[in-house]
Structure 1
Amino acid sequence: MFPYLMKKEEFATNEYPLFVVPIMEIQLLSQKIIELSSTITDLANDLPDVAHQQFYNEQLFNAIISTNEIEGIGTTRKDVAVAIEALNKDKKEKLKHKSTVRMYLDILSEDYLNVTELTHIREIYNALTSGEIEDDDELDGELFRKNYVSIVNNQNGKIEHIAPGKEETIKEMLLSWIHFINIENVPFLIKASLAHYFFENIHPFYDGNGRTGRYILSKYLSRKLDKFSGLIISKKINEDKNKYYKAFSDTGNILNKADGTQFVHTILSFIIKGQYEIINTLSEKQEMLYYYHQKLQDSSFTDIEATILFLLIQSQLFVSDFEASINDNELLNLLQHTEYSQRSLKQTIKDLENKKTLIKVAKRPLKHAIVEEFFDYSTK
């Protein structure tokens, strides 16, 4: 893979092959990432089903909001929640971010992302950005763009990168990228990082390059590590965009002669920071869940009340706001094959509302949540 390199805001050459020096720190980071992924999997598997799904949803929200925010696209949690609901109910209406949400939901399926032809790249791009690209940025080549684009630093106005301008050149570079991602003699974390850099260096589209590149990276890491480690990469890049762009710019500087070591190190450091965040959050939430489970057992709540409340605790505890918690219909569906009738469950929800244990937070669809006063867990 021969990236386009820059010298003082101008294209310099593409005669140097992209490479990495397997320094000890990269090897240690790679080893630690694999170990932490195993820890995350064990922690997540210990969660009850609702808690596990809600924690995944929370990471999904963060990933989509972050990947769009990097591109300057404003996305709210409600936008994502509405899109998820529409997809789950197979609604045909056009919604903002629906394409992006659909693709990120696919990460949960753990299907292999098979990219062996140029058309596969275009298909990923189409599915990810459908209805979200401005008319001026629509592709004008057979599969990709056919005119020059450059990446400009918004802070100082300097040209950071000039991408190849001819579609034939783009195709040639992407074919070498496809070959690289399918070889098996490169450690997968180094491969993922270098492939991500080279894809962004090619910049095959007018708009949506970053979103497409990060999706491919997330999908790959989710399969090779775990879905949580894969999803959090966009969030960590978004939190430290300057570090990411500096690594990209430095790698593309002619003086470094396509040395991708710094970029690989940067990506691995983002992954490992995200993993520690996931582990800390999961550990804390598990402690809280155990505490509230004991609180229910020691309380005067009836069995049916405690059952409802424990599901709602899972629903609320593992997401950051009510927008992503389960509604009454979803709650009833979860308890459909239990000893409790739907009528008795609905009545119990009303009773808990009358007791001021639950509060109605939405009407359409009807949704109840546990009052804040119930959540008295303290780390002290």
Structure 2
Amino acid sequence: DVYKRQKQEIAHALNNQASDFLKFRGLVDQYKEIELNKKIKVDNVRDIRAIYDKLVSNEINEQDKLDGELFRKNFVGVHDGSTNKYIHVGLQPETKIVEYIGEMLTFLKYFDAPQPFKIMASHYMFEYIHPFYDGNGRVGRFIIAKLLSDYYDNYTALTFSYVINRNKSKYYKAFMTASNHLNCGDLTEFIDTMLELLIAGQERILDELIPKMDATEKLTLYLTSHYKKIDYEFLYLLSMDKLFGNKRNRLTLIDLENILGVGRVKINNTIKKFGNYLVKIKSRPTIYEISDEFLNSIIK
């Protein structure tokens, strides 16, 4: 139920809908910026605070608001309720947090090692420092997504976040193992686990993208040879939205008007013309999606 609700909240945020529970607005905005290749800086200590402010500050409880100049001033720890013990205690005071965040960023820029290794190691460093009372995980995962986007591509970055969400036990176990005092600060196993998750995400891209690219080629050939320009563009847009889009964030009729550069009358006439190929999934705003039967008749 919680997972379903979170997906609903994210869909609301994507659609800019007013809601009492839009705590994902900042998160969605930041990931949209990654997708659009807008410049988000992870260069200095203040950049980390800026990401926190935009990403999660609006959803932090009053008692967990930051009380330092940039980060927290006092104690924070990760508590294990089953043992009633702290499994990790963040660094303090704030001067030490600032110092270690600075060292983490210097390590990322200048340490002589493959960049993927440095990205994964810095992810551990950030979570070890734990600069905030709340929101460390979300900010840390966003930062690693940003760094992966810069080094690889947007798809690798976003699917890495997805794979982490699907493999939380493996992800958190890697932190626990690395933090064990018997491990003596060796991050080899941690980096190896993170790279395994990264590869799993890239393989997922290939598994999903290759069939969809094949379907796109077939659709393009079929639609361009069977329909006039406006009809082709209308059917193509809805087909791409079905193949690559988010079912909770489909194109509205207003979107279609703006993209195609035509008025509502023309859109309505086209909908009537191809009514057998469409499924109405929402009324306010009005949203249609292409039918599975239409797609399957072309791509299979």
- Shorter-chain TM-score bucket reads 0.7 to 0.9
C-alpha spacing 1:377/1:137, structure 2 compared with 1 (3 Å): farther
CA distance in 1: counterparts of 2:220 and 2:81, whole angstroms: 50
1:269-308, aligned counterparts within 5 Å? 269-296=196-223, 304-308=230-234
Q: 1:333 aligns with which of 258, 265, 270?
A: 258
The number of equivalent residue pairs is 299
**Structure 1 residue matching 2:175: 3-state secondary structure:** helix
**Structure 2 residue matching 1:99: 3-state secondary structure:** helix
1:311 corresponds to: 237
| Letter paired with 2:134 | D
1:42 corresponds to: none
Q: Give a deviation string over 1:159-214, Cα, whole Å, max 9, x none.
A: 32122232222222222112212216332111101111000001011110011111
CA distance in 2: counterparts of 1:149 and 1:260, whole angstroms: 23
C-alpha spacing 1:346/1:248, structure 2 compared with 1 (3 Å): same
Q: Give a deviation string over 1:215-264, Cα, whole Å, max 9, x none.
A: 11101110111011011111111111111111111111111110000111
Tell whether the 8 Å contact from 1:112 to 1:223 is kept in structure 2 after alignment.
no
1:45-124, aligned counterparts within 5 Å? 76-86=6-16, 95-124=22-51
CA distance in 2: counterparts of 1:349 and 1:279, whole angstroms: 34
| Residues 240-249 or 206-215, more deviating | 240-249
CA distance in 2: counterparts of 1:283 and 1:73, whole angstroms: 28
CA distance in 2: counterparts of 1:254 and 1:173, whole angstroms: 19
1:144 corresponds to: 71
Tell whether the 8 Å contact from 1:125 to 1:212 is kept in structure 2 after alignment.
yes
1:30-49, aligned counterparts within 5 Å? none
| Letter paired with 1:124 | I
Structure number with higher helix proportion? 2
| Residues 132-141 or 165-174, more deviating | 165-174
**Structure 2 residue matching 1:368: 3-state secondary structure:** strand
RMSD (Å) for aligned C-alpha atoms: 2.8
CA distance in 1: counterparts of 2:211 and 2:100, whole angstroms: 46
Tell whether the 8 Å contact from 2:280 to 2:288 is kept in structure 1 after alignment.
yes
CA distance in 2: counterparts of 1:358 and 1:156, whole angstroms: 56
C-alpha spacing 1:134/1:73, structure 2 compared with 1 (3 Å): farther
1:187-226, aligned counterparts within 5 Å? 187-226=114-153
CA distance in 2: counterparts of 1:224 and 1:372, whole angstroms: 37
1:371 corresponds to: 291
1:348 corresponds to: 270
**Structure 1 residue matching 2:16: 3-state secondary structure:** helix
CA distance in 2: counterparts of 1:188 and 1:319, whole angstroms: 31
CA distance in 2: counterparts of 1:80 and 1:273, whole angstroms: 24
CA distance in 2: counterparts of 1:174 and 1:341, whole angstroms: 53
C-alpha spacing 1:159/1:374, structure 2 compared with 1 (3 Å): same
| Letter paired with 1:134 | N
1:59 corresponds to: none
2:167 corresponds to: 240
CA distance in 1: counterparts of 2:290 and 2:299, whole angstroms: 20
1:23 corresponds to: none
Tell me the CA shift for residue 73 of structure 1. Answer: 8.0
Tell whether the 8 Å contact from 1:304 to 1:345 is kept in structure 2 after alignment.
no
* Structure 2: runs of 5+ lacking an equivalent: none
C-alpha spacing 1:230/1:308, structure 2 compared with 1 (3 Å): same
Tell whether the 8 Å contact from 2:219 to 2:298 is kept in structure 1 after alignment.
no
Tell whether the 8 Å contact from 2:160 to 2:201 is kept in structure 1 after alignment.
yes
Q: Give a deviation string over 1:139-170, Cα, whole Å, max 9, x none.
A: 12222112222223466655321222322222
C-alpha spacing 1:117/1:162, structure 2 compared with 1 (3 Å): same
Q: Percent identity?
A: 34
CA distance in 1: counterparts of 2:40 and 2:230, whole angstroms: 44
C-alpha spacing 1:130/1:328, structure 2 compared with 1 (3 Å): same
CA distance in 2: counterparts of 1:191 and 1:294, whole angstroms: 44
1:43 corresponds to: none
| Letter paired with 2:104 | W
| Letter paired with 2:232 | A
C-alpha spacing 1:115/1:351, structure 2 compared with 1 (3 Å): closer
Tell me the CA shift for residue 282 of structure 1. Answer: 0.6
1:254 corresponds to: 181
Tell me the CA shift for residue 113 of structure 1. Answer: 3.9
